[in-house]
Amino acid sequence: MARMYSRKKGKSGSTNPLELKKKFWVGYKENEIEGLVVKLAKQGMTASLIGLVLRDSYGIPNVHVMIKKSITQILKEKELSQEIPEDLLSLLKKEAKVIKHFEKNKQDKDALRGLQLTESKVKRLSKYYKRVGRIPKNWTYDPAKVGLLIS
| Residue pLDDT, tens place only, 68-84 | 899 999 999 999 888 88
What average pLDDT is seen over the chain?
86
What DSSP assignment string belongs to 87-124? HHHHHHHHHHHHHHHHHH-TT-HHHHHHHHHHHHHHHH
Report field, pTM of the whole predicted structure over 0.85: no
**Span 130-151, average pLDDT:** 82
User: For residue 145, is pLDDT > 90?
Assistant: no
pLDDT band at 102 (very low <50, low <70, confident <90, very high): confident
Res 2: pLDDT: 62
User: For residue 1, is pLDDT > 60?
Assistant: no
Cβ neighbours of 124 (radius 10 Å): 11
Q: What tens digit of pLDDT does each residue of 31-57 get?
A: 999 999 999 999 989 999 999 999 889
User: For residue 124, is pLDDT > 80?
Assistant: yes
| 78 close to 41: Cβ distance less than 8 angstroms | yes
